[in-house]
Amino acid sequence: MTKDDSLEDSLNELSFEDNTQQYQKNPFHVVLVDLKRAAFDRKIHCVEKPLEGDLKYVALSYRWGEVQETMIDTGVGYSVTITSFDLLTFIDLCAMIAMESELKDMEYVWVDAICVDQNNPIKRKTTIYQMTNIYEHANFILAVPDLHLAYLYSISTKNTEILFGSQRFNEYLYYLIHGNAKCLSSLDEEWLDKYKVPKDHALRQLLTKYTDYFTDGLMTYRERHWKYNEINVLNHLYETSPEVTEPTKNSEEDMSSQYRTVQTPTEDDATADDVLTKVKQLHQCKKPNCPLDLSVVVDEQPPYEENRFQRRNIALHHREWNQKIDERSTCIRQSMHLMIDLIVDWSSRVWVISEFNIAKKKNNLKYWFHQLSHRTLRSPQGYNVSRYRQDTEISFFKFDFNHPSFSTIKTAKVNDRGQWATSDPVYLKFHQTMINQLNDQTFLEMILNSKASKMEDRFYAILPLSQDYKHLIGSKHLEDSWKMNTLLAVKLKLYEWMNVKDKLNLLFFSGRWGTEQKGTILPTFATSTIAWYRSEKPEATVGGLEPSNFELSDPSTITLKQSATTNQLFLHLKPKSYYVWSHAKEKIINELHEQNKRIYGHLKCFHQALILDIISIPTWYTTTMEAHQQDKISMTFLDAGYIHLVGSLESNVWVLGSFPFFDNNELYVLKKKLKHDYWTHHNGDDYPSGFHIY
């Protein structure tokens, strides 16, 4: 759920004292939608029940869209106007819930757009205050990231094209998300039969096991030679396929049992040479430049000559089964990528983050994409559930927060930034996204890298999820200070009361590689646009690599202060060690000083006559830093393991900046004039006053 402004205003208007008094006066009655009447009669009928006892209901989590308003009478004394989703979409969803394997016994559905009386201020306030209890009491929380499906159709013709593909291949997408390789392989074979792909065992093995168009290619990462082109391969297999063949000797069961017997070169049981040998056994090609020779990367790559124009505008010739294969694969991948985007969009909203973290307590989160629902006139409910080969019911997708395979999926390779071409394992990408968004977000990511209509909602939604900060909820004095309009104000408030480790990480994220607007506006430690990415390096976060460069148990390690003379805010930072760039005093880089003045000199904290020094502070304690030789750049500096401060050792005035050779092309040219450059290590005791970062 993502609340609109009226609901958010209600939450903010309701004080802690009002909440307590209201809760103590009367037991709360929750409004619920009758599931069976919505599913079978296609009518919205609500009931009002005490939020206690054995209520069987599902609470929906979704994001609001913008559709034409629909008014309905709830039947419990009020009417509502719905603009966040299409009413028919909601009714269709209820029909799906009524047929789902675990949810079919539920009696009610809670959805805020219907179950909150927005025209009654008192009831509205009370319901908003009880929101956490409503989700905690639910038997299941069902996430529907595309409940605003009508809105998605309306904003983009490309969306319409992709969603049409989701309908065409909804059964395949259903089993792909479930990871049911056996059903997928069976569907692959049925599809190949439907489009009259020759029933030649070798050809079908090559298509399903050694190209990226079918189950294996959708679920498994594969590394290809950089000249590999999947369209070339498909055309080549079409050209060399037998025109008339007998049915394959392998039954459907035999084919599915061969799943993953020969796989990618990353598996222990099959080297790249093994795969290439198998391909050559299946495809005895006399063509000197066989595209299949590039399907793996081997030490001694077979010779392959191609015209330099050959890779341009490669098209599928003949509107035959080869084109159908490519069209099908494109539709499936586009649908999966759209659902990945929908997951990110849904899970990045502060109130949704609160909802799926409530689900984490009981591990009762399910999710569904309504674009996979198949409408038909062949059943009273409007759905042909047998399409999913589950007799009379389907299974929504379950997100198990404690699933033992998470670590394996998270570390699985899904792309390569090197020289080779790679496959697009959308199955792995989808589930990695789910894990990253729902299970791995840090406190700082949740409160800062999220979407909220009002800034104070970040505190109301996220603080209750943190053991360190949930005690701040309920303090009227603190809550009054959360009424703010900018992310800058949120960051400054966090610097006031977060623990030392989180303050340091916010500072290092604000100065990490890729972050924009560093050192351009005061206070520089809170005004940069953070580049949110997860680094595999442990030193990327404070405390990730030991020993830490900071005393994490000492509150004075990092504190937010205000200058008595200028009233400017600054951070007082005390590291155990730091580095000074030794070339900062050499005449050869006077141009660098001038460049620093152009970048930072306009800031009010600097006097125009200052010679600007550059220091570097790492997250972990170390006495050595890799020296730079001529124009060789150490990648050590390109992550969040260091921050760079530009300022004056003499005046102790600093701003969060960048190491110029990495951020400015002109200074990179200047670097070539230097024979070497290096950093000098210092202990924190060498600068006992600590660093004042403005």
**pLDDT tens, position by position, 4-26:** 444 445 444 444 444 444 444 57
Report the pLDDT averaged over residues 520-530: 91
pLDDT at 412: 83
Percent with pLDDT over 90 in the chain: 49
Token pair for residue 446? 């949740």
How does the average pLDDT of the chain come out, rounded?
80
Q: What's the pLDDT at 478?
A: 72
Whole-structure pTM over 0.95, yes or no? Answer: no
* pLDDT tens, position by position, 259-303: 232 334 444 456 766 776 777 666 667 666 676 666 666 555 555
| CA 281 – CA 259 distance, rounded (Å) | 18
Structural contact between residues 67 and 150, judged by C-beta atoms closer than 8 angstroms? yes
Q: Which residue has the higher pLDDT, 186 or 15?
A: 186
Task: Compute the distance between CA of residue 302 and CA of residue 124 in angstroms, rounded to an integer.
Answer: 71
Q: What pLDDT does 77 receive?
A: 93
pLDDT at residue number 596: 61
- Give the burial string for 381-406 (b: 16+ CB within 10 Å, else e): bbbebeebeeeeebebbebebeeeeb
> Above 70 in pLDDT, residue 140?
yes
pLDDT tens digits, 322-369: 899 999 999 999 999 999 999 999 999 999 999 999 999 999 999 999
Statement: residue 536 has pLDDT above 70: no
Average pLDDT (393-411) is 88
Tell me the two tokens of residue 362.
């009981």
Residue 58 banded pLDDT, cuts 50, 70, 90: very high
Nearest one of 436, 489, 446, 437 to 468, comparing CA atoms: 446
Taking each helix axis from N to C terminus, what angle separates 181-194 and 201-210, rounded to the nearest 10 degrees?
Answer: 130
Which DSSP helix (H) or strand (E) runs through 458?
helix 457-462
pLDDT value at residue 591: 52
Q: What is the pLDDT of residues 359-388, one digit of tens each?
A: 999 999 999 999 999 653 233 344 444 455
Question: Residue 312 pLDDT > 80, yes or no?
Answer: no
pLDDT given at position 664: 47
Whole-angstrom distance, CA of residue 353 vs CA of residue 453: 14
CB-based contacts of 414: which residues, under 8 Å, 6+ apart?
Answer: 221, 425, 428, 429, 432
How high is the pLDDT of residue 314?
45
- Is residue 694 within 8 A of residue 522, CB to CB? The reply is yes
If one counts every other C-beta atom within 10 angstroms of the C-beta of residue 286, the result is 6
* Cα separation, 359 vs 655, whole angstroms: 42
Task: Spell out where 364-429 has E strands.
Answer: 365-367, 397-399, 421-422
For position 285, what pLDDT does the model report?
A: 72
pLDDT of residue 181 exceeding 90: yes
547 preceded by a cis bond (ω within 30 of 0): yes
Q: With contact defined as beta carbons under 8 Å apart, do 209 and 262 qualify?
A: yes
Is the bond preceding residue 523 a cis peptide, omega within 30 degrees?
yes
Task: Decide if pLDDT at 73 tops 90.
Answer: yes
